[in-house]
Structure 1
């Protein structure tokens, strides 16, 4: 199973999404809203845990190995304990190895498609609707 990180959609536009898939199931694209009270107004481990709590059970089972990079929130005690409570095994992730995470290819393709089709995209709030349209179009192809 795989998941993601921040994507830039146009010059200066930034929005974080999460998604995961395994051999026969996948989640939808989940927008992650930053915490304005957090340092640097970013995504916190608590926000990430809430996303995992809602979506991970739909695709994970006791045989799943959860794959995520070494971002600070992914390695937090809160997340490690949460995954232990769910009985989900974490893949030990070597440093500096985004090539091991196949979903990184998806983020790159989505980013390029959005920038090509919406070069004037200026607001992060616009990215959710834009991504939904692009994904729907890709499914039709």
Structure 2
């Protein structure tokens, strides 16, 4: 089982979502639907925010693009094949190391950490 985390990052930390299994465009848009706009409200951003994601296939899928367009979400343009430009990757390394040091033994502990 693959476990990934997704955080909508804007002027603070948005909701943290535990994802079990593989992420695809359907799951990604479901997570956006349930969390993105509420995170913006929680952070008092209203509709004045820009979503940053890379060119992963689930991010560029027709389904995702249509959802973002319907919701009028501004998306930061991202050059193809540029993972080294993504500043969040450096943060993920720090998060992974901090979690590793805590040594969770199951998903419940991982989610709590």
Bin for the TM-score computed over the shorter chain: 0.7 to 0.9
Alignment of 1:34-73 (within 5 A): 34=21, 42-60=22-40, 61-73=46-58
TM-score (norm 1): 0.65
Q: Which has the higher contact order (CA 8 A, sep 6+)?
A: 1
8 Å Cα contact 1:22-1:59 kept in structure 2: no
1:22 corresponds, among 3, 6, 10, to 10
Q: Which has the higher helix share?
A: 2
Please give the alpha-carbon distance, in whole angstroms, between the structure 1 residues aligned to 2:111 and 2:81.
27
TM-score (norm 2): 0.79
* Structure 2: gaps spanning 5 or more residues: 41-45
The answer to whether the aligner puts 1:82 opposite 2:67 as a matched pair is yes
CA shift, 1:70, in A, is: 0.7
* Structure 1: gaps spanning 5 or more residues: 1-12, 35-41, 134-141
Q: Which has the higher strand share?
A: 2
Number of residue pairs the alignment of both structures matches: 108
Q: Output the aligned Cα RMSD.
A: 2.2
